[in-house]
Amino acid sequence: MITAHQADPTEDLRRERSQASFPSRELAALMAGGEAQLKLRERIADAVRADPVFSKKGKYFMERADLYRTTLEKYLALPRLATAIDPNDPITVGKIIRELIDEPGGLDLHLGMFIPTIQGQGDEEQRKHWLPMCTKLQIIGTYAQTELGHGTYIRGLETTATYDAEKEQFIIHSPTLTATKWWPGGMGKTSTHAVVMARLITHGRDRGPHAFVVQIRRNEDHQTMPGVTAGDIGPKMGYNAVDNGFLRFDHVRVPRRAMLMRYSKVDPDGTFHPPPVAKASYGTMVFVRSDIVMNAALYMKKAVTIAMRYNLVRRQSNPGGEKASGGVGQKGLELQVIDYQHSQRSLFPILARAFAFHCTSDFMRRMYFRYEKVSTRKGDFSALPELHATSSGLKAYCSWATKDAIELCRLCCGGHGFMMLAGFGTTFGNYAPNATYEGDNNVLCLQTARYLLKVARAVAKAAARGGDVRDAEEGAQGTSAYILEGGGGLEPGCQLGKSVGLRDTEAALGAFAHAARRQILAAASRAGTLGADAAMSRDMVAWIKAAKAHCAYVVLLNFVDAVAESKPRVSSATAAVMDRLVSLHALATMDDNMGDFLEDGHVSADQAAAIRAEVAVLLAELRPDAAALVDSFALDDYFLNSALGSHDGDVYRRLYDEVQSAPFNASHVPPGYADLLHSRLIKGAGRSRL
Ligand SMILES: Cc1cc2nc3c(=O)[nH]c(=O)nc-3n(C[C@H](O)[C@H](O)[C@H](O)COP(=O)(O)OP(=O)(O)OC[C@H]3O[C@@H](n4cnc5c(N)ncnc54)[C@H](O)[C@@H]3O)c2cc1C
């Protein structure tokens, strides 16, 4: 038995929890949507942990084939367990189990893109035909859009679907090397089918990219269909339980009804009917982007939970003496690394941002489902431009921030943070492509920027008419309504720390709105009468920055609103800690981007210094609540799968125990020993010991 050091990390975490200023359970219940929801999540986590199929033991030591297989096993066992936990609502339970598994696998695209695309773009008959087979896993599908030559520029796709009216069939073909589909998840080995995006050609005319359901592999023996070439694209920086693949077609014939025809249609004689509303098929894309916003909150919580718990138990020197960092250093012990101020400055704003993203993801979910209701029930697509702009921008803003936060959390954990056992490696590797897939983040910011340009022009037009800029309101709905408020007139400077306190959220919101509005209106003014494409391409960096500033405002707005709405339902202690988080999020974000606020003098140099000082005060105030705040995310150890982030803080024991059973440690003799090392080392035999 190896004895513990005198500073017991588990005791450290226990003490940290006991000194919290608020009940973490109360905040956890609020975040989960109520105590019943929280209990349900706990019950599900207990069931998953108890089921051997779901075990994550040894996951970090696995080869790719084993990782693929064990992940697939978990996904296949998911419906059984979900139904056992709640036969009345296996879908909700299944979603939570999938979140807990926390490993994208061979079925991810089937669940996340293939089914939603058929649901969103198939007509009723097509949905009835395909979806039952999908849910029973009698077919497994992927989504094949990106090609070797083109990803972002969808109109550049080269795969063709040429209609043959005589046989009432489409001929799917990859005419060039660069037309090869590249990246579809699950394409490498798992899928039998794919939604293939191909340029529709009818009556000799190119109608642009459309979606076709194409069988890729036979159900009988999983061999490729005639004319299809497919395989796996090889190892990636992460995401390796997913078999991303390549796919080529050599004049593969599919029936006319393989084209998803909810919006665009092709008659048997080849007559083409465009969608009644341009961009009506954007629904699936918007849904998936909204989902990424929701996941950003989850992975930010995950990274900061691991890093915070480890920073609370890791002790390293005590440069300021035992009373360093406000007296938190304990006599005779080294300092907890969280008490180094830079650790707090790194981790606490991430903590606050995780709460902010949680609120933003709730907002995104509500916005999407509201749109879905009115668009499907009433055929009303009027909310689409704003939804599209918001989901694009927030997808980019939140996924960038989360990717960076995971890495910053790792850096705050020193050497042990670099162990796979810490959990940051797979979390980063699996999370990072969120910045690329479903639309490269810079490109998505430009889509948001186009919308902002339209709003800015409506504002300018109304102002030029000499009327109230509010006349332009039809162009500025919901999240962009703040653009109207500046109205081109002179605005008073930021009031933070002047007529109101530094923690005044309305004044902070005003500053965020001002910074975004200023950048949007300035870029719009530089654009003059240029078309949107030219405006974006000539002033791209400024527009991307303006879109980010807009998103920063939307995130803060949602955080402020959600906290204001929740406070009456919680104790005053919890309300107080929520207020601190909002203030920290607002002020630390300003501090990190101070140039945007100083540039036009909206914030003065003195205010900037005061904001920085207030951030330091907030860090100290939040310090006693650090453990309780990450506890309130209620992330189960099974999900975290981290030797550094477990709830009990028993970091060193876990690290030590886990490596004892590592396959690489099975023998002292390394691979290649006989032919590479033995002949050299043997010569030292008998002389190597003094
Ligand atoms: C892990 C992973 C999984 C994926 N899964 C799938 C899948 O299942 N199915 C599928 O079809 N695809 C999938 N993809 C592909 C993904 O959707 C594309 O990689 C993504 O859309 C970006 O396209 P691209 O690779 O062509 O990048 P490019 O467009 O080549 O981008 C390269 C650079 O050029 C810039 N750029 C390009 N165009 C513009 C523009 N108009 N304006 C400004 N800047 C521009 C980008 O910002 C970027 O910096 C996956 C990718 C990854 C990494």
What is the pLDDT of the chain when averaged over all its residues?
93
pLDDT single digits (tens) 255-300: 999 999 999 999 999 999 998 777 666 777 888 888 899 899 999 9
Strand 141-144 vs strand 205-215: parallel, antiparallel, or unpaired?
A: unpaired
The whole-number pLDDT of residue 282 equals 76
- Angle among Cα 232, 234, 235 to the nearest 5 degrees reads 140
Q: Hey, what domains does the chain have and what are their CATH numbers? A: 51-103 (no CATH), 111-276 (2.40.110.10), 285-629 (1.20.140.10)
pLDDT at 475 over 60: no
Residue entry with tokens 């009917």: 273
Buried b / exposed e along 565-582 (16+ C-beta atoms within 10 A): ebbeebeeebbebbebbb
The whole-number pLDDT of residue 327 equals 45
- 382 pLDDT band (50/70/90 cuts)? confident
What's the complex ipTM? 0.98
The whole-number pLDDT of residue 460 equals 85
What are 292's two structure tokens?
């990424």
Sign of CA dihedral 128, 133, 134, 140: negative
What's the rounded mean pLDDT across residues 234-254? 97
Lowest mean pLDDT among 343-352, 400-409, 488-497: 488-497
Question: 440 C-alpha to center of ligand 1: Å?
Answer: 5
What are 406's two structure tokens?
């995971």
- In the chain, the amino acid numbered 648 is D
- 324 pLDDT band (50/70/90 cuts)? very low
pLDDT at 367 over 80: yes
Question: 446 C-alpha to center of ligand 1: Å?
Answer: 14
Torsion-angle region of 534 (φ positive above 0: left; ψ -120 to 50: alpha; else: beta) = alpha
Cβ atoms of residues 31 and 359 within 8 Å: no
CA distance 591 to 345: 11
pLDDT single digits (tens) 177-186: 999 999 999 9
Maximum Cα interatomic distance, the chain, rounded to a whole number of Å: 98
Cβ atoms of residues 256 and 169 within 8 Å: yes
- 447 pLDDT band (50/70/90 cuts)? very high
What are 65's two structure tokens?
């084939």
The whole-number pLDDT of residue 690 equals 76
CA distance 7 to 262: 64
pLDDT: which is higher, 470 or 634: 634
Crossing angle for the helix pair 505-527 and 540-566, nearest 10 degrees?
160
What's the rounded mean pLDDT across residues 87-113? 95
438 is catalytic: yes
The whole-number pLDDT of residue 329 equals 52
pLDDT single digits (tens) 25-54: 999 999 999 999 999 999 999 999 999 999
CA distance 5 to 166: 81
Question: 358 C-alpha to center of ligand 1: Å?
Answer: 26
Q: What is the DSSP letter of 224?
A: B
Cβ atoms of residues 151 and 144 within 8 Å: no
What's the rounded mean pLDDT across residues 162-166? 98
Which listed residue (103, 158, 438, 614) is catalytic?
Answer: 438
What's the rounded mean pLDDT across residues 613-627? 98
CA distance 412 to 404: 12
Please enumerate, by residue number, every residue annotated as part of a binding site for FAD.
146, 185
What ligand 1 atom has the least distance to the C-alpha of 142?
8
Please enumerate, by residue number, every residue annotated as part of a binding site.
146, 185
What's the rounded mean pLDDT across residues 588-614? 97
Phi, then psi, of 371 in degrees rounded to 5 = -65, -45
Q: Which residues line ligand 1 (CB under 6 A)?
A: 109, 143-146, 150-152, 183-185, 239, 244, 433, 436-437, 439-440, 442-443, 446
